[in-house]
């Protein structure tokens, strides 16, 4: 008789646990997406403004890259001459580049640390490495 009760209790516990796990999956599991170029380049970079048609070069300028969508990133900086822009990315010959627009985005993942070159509106250029 004790064996039947133990088996019954065990089955009840397993069923309850299974229901709990199923409910947790339904609530907390978002579909897993395939990483894209935005995931690869997002992060913090540190470098220098190397040329500026409306001012002088500047050292120690931070740039933050944030993924905003599939193969899209937003570029932000702590330096007011570098505007906040969003670019769409593509891969070519092992590098990651912007698809269109007036911002040049050139990311070289083969360098250690990875290196990024940016030019905004053909006016100001920045070059730096991932932190």
Predicted local distance difference test score (pLDDT) of residue 2: 54
Write the secondary structure of 32-88 as one string of H (helix), E (strand) and C (coil): CCCCCHHHHHCEEEEEEEEEECCCCCEEEEEEEEEEEECCEEEEEECCCCCCCEEEE
| Cα three-residue angle 44-50-53, rounded to 5 degrees | 120
**C-alpha 17: how far from chain center:** 36
Q: What domain range is 47 assigned to?
A: 37-130
Whether residue 115 sits in one domain with residue 68: yes
What are the pLDDT digits (tens) for 88-125?
999 999 999 999 999 999 999 999 999 999 999 999 99
Predicted local distance difference test score (pLDDT) of residue 28: 61
Whether residue 52 sits in one domain with residue 11: no
Question: Nearest 5°: phi and psi at 66?
Answer: -125, 135
Our count of domains for the chain comes to: 2
Whether residue 75 sits in one domain with residue 15: no
What are the pLDDT digits (tens) for 8-67?
443 333 343 444 444 444 456 667 889 999 999 999 999 999 999 999 999 999 999 999
Whole-model pTM: value is: 0.75
Work out whether the CA dihedral 89, 94, 95, 101 comes out positive or negative.
negative
Rounded-to-integer distance, Cα 56 and Cα 49, Å: 8
Whether residue 66 sits in one domain with residue 52: yes
């Amino acid at each position: 008789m004790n064996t039947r009760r133990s088996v019954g209790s065990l089955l009840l516990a397993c069923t309850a646990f299974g229901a709990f796990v199923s409910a947790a999956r339904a609530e907390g599991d978002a579909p897993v997406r395939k990483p894209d170029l935005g995931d690869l380049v997002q992060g913090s970079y540190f470098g220098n403004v190397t040329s500026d048609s409306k001012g002088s070069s500047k050292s120690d300028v931070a740039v933050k890259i944030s993924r905003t969508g599939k193969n899209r990133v937003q570029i932000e900086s702590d330096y007011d001459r570098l505007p906040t822009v969003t670019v769409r990315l593509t891969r070519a010959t092992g590098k990651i580049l912007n698809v269109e627009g007036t911002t040049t985005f050139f990311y070289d993942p083969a360098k250690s640390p990875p290196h990024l070159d940016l030019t905004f509106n053909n006016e100001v250029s920045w070059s730096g490495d991932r932190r």
